[in-house]
Amino acid sequence: MRYLFGCLLLAALTACTAVNVRPVENVDALDTVCIVENDRVPIDDILEVLQEGFQRNGVDTRIVTREGTGSCETVLTYMARRYWDVTFYMTSAELWLWRDNVQIGYAEYHLRNNGGMSLAKWKSTRAKLDVIFQ
């Protein structure tokens, strides 16, 4: 009975995290990525985290508005959501990478059940998105 209780407790405390990455086939061809700022995303540090992820992979970035993408060959659009449990934390993010209006990459991070009772749900945006930029 204790063993069963321990297993149930462990299952409740570990949230299932889904990460789905369809990487870019030719990363070396990426010089600069224009990140389209999404005003509907309420996560303050997401732009900084996205820029750092690309920079660690040798890709320069530029923040642009949707109207400012005309001079950009490669564009990143994104959406992210947050949830509140004692404090706000990111529960999901989707990233789409486009070249000449054709999708060339995709990545998704998602906490199932908003992280449940797992303490890992309160990890930083950086810690969660670093999985995508590895």
pLDDT digits (tens, 9 = 90+) for 53-107: 999 989 999 999 999 888 899 999 999 999 999 999 999 999 999 998 899 999 9
Q: Reply yes or no on whether the pLDDT at 2 is more than 60.
A: no
| pLDDT at site 9 | 37
The answer on pLDDT for 45 being more than 80 is yes
Confidence of residue 17 (pLDDT cuts 50, 70, 90): confident
Q: Is the pLDDT of residue 132 over 60?
A: yes
SS (H, E, C) the chain: CHHHHHHHHHHHHCCCEEEEEECCCCHHHCCEEEEECCCCCCCCCHHHHHHHHHHHCCCEEEEECHHHHCCCCEEEEEEEEEEEECEEEEEEEEEEEEECCEEEEEEEEEEHHHHCCCHHHHCCHHHHHCCCCC
Q: What is the mean pLDDT of residues 102-121?
A: 89
Is residue 3 pLDDT above 60, yes or no? no
